[in-house]
Amino acid sequence: LACQTVVEPGMYLAQIPCTPAQKATYNIEKENPDVSSFLKLYPEVFRCVSCNTCTKICPQEIEVMDYVNAIIRGDIAEAADLSFDCIMCGLCTMRCPAEMAQYNIALLARRLFGRYLTKRSDYLYERLKDIADGKFDKEMKNIKQLSREGLEKRYKERDLDFDIT
């Protein structure tokens, strides 16, 4: 049974019927947020004939062909936005005459967008500086030394500056 199987590297869960598709292995830190990454990792995206069968079969009603064309144009932000609701069912891949794995290609677009094109908040940089400066070291040391009961007590007694609804 799957629920009793130990997870191992390279293992993935799949629905049945499974549509195995090409999934490139890459280090997002070494990729560029432009067309070159797709040309290298998923060159089949450029074989798209815009037949639109991918969009017609999508159970999420995603404009799959539109995000594929956005990738071809180099508009990673648009591709990430259009593909955001993808559930990676593989139906688009099953129908594609260009043999694309649209859902894996869209995943790369979203990862590139998140890593390189999303504006980081000033608050994030302030908090990272606080962590690097050791502002929370003493408090973290105290928390790590608490017993489970002590940690639960502290959690329940915490003072929130907002209401939980």
Q: Are residues 45 and 102 in the same domain?
A: yes
Q: Domains in the chain: how many in total?
A: 2
Q: Are residues 43 and 103 in the same domain?
A: yes
The better pLDDT of the pair 21, 68 is held by 68
Q: Are residues 107 and 126 in the same domain?
A: no
In a domain, residue 164? The reply is no
In a domain, residue 4? The reply is no
Residue-averaged pLDDT of the chain: 92
Q: Are residues 110 and 55 in the same domain?
A: yes
Q: Are residues 71 and 143 in the same domain?
A: no
In a domain, residue 6? The reply is no
Whether the per-residue pLDDT at 2 is higher than 60: the answer is no
Q: Are residues 107 and 127 in the same domain?
A: no
Instruction: Encode pLDDT of 60-105 as tens digits.
Output: 999 999 999 999 999 999 999 999 999 998 999 999 999 999 999 9
Burial 97-114 (b: 16+ CB within 10 A, else e): eeebbbbbbbbbbbbbbe
Asked whether 78 and 62 are in contact (CB, 8 A), the reply is no
CA-closest candidate to residue 102, choices 60, 140, 158: 60
In a domain, residue 45? The reply is yes
pLDDT of residue 96: 95
Query: What is the distance between the alpha carbons of residues 13 and 143, in angstroms, rounded to a whole number?
Result: 36
Domain carrying residue 37: 13-117
Q: In the Cβ-directed half-sphere of 51, how many Cα atoms lie within 13 Å? A: 15
Tracing tokens 């290298």 back to the chain, one arrives at: 40
pLDDT of residue 120: 86
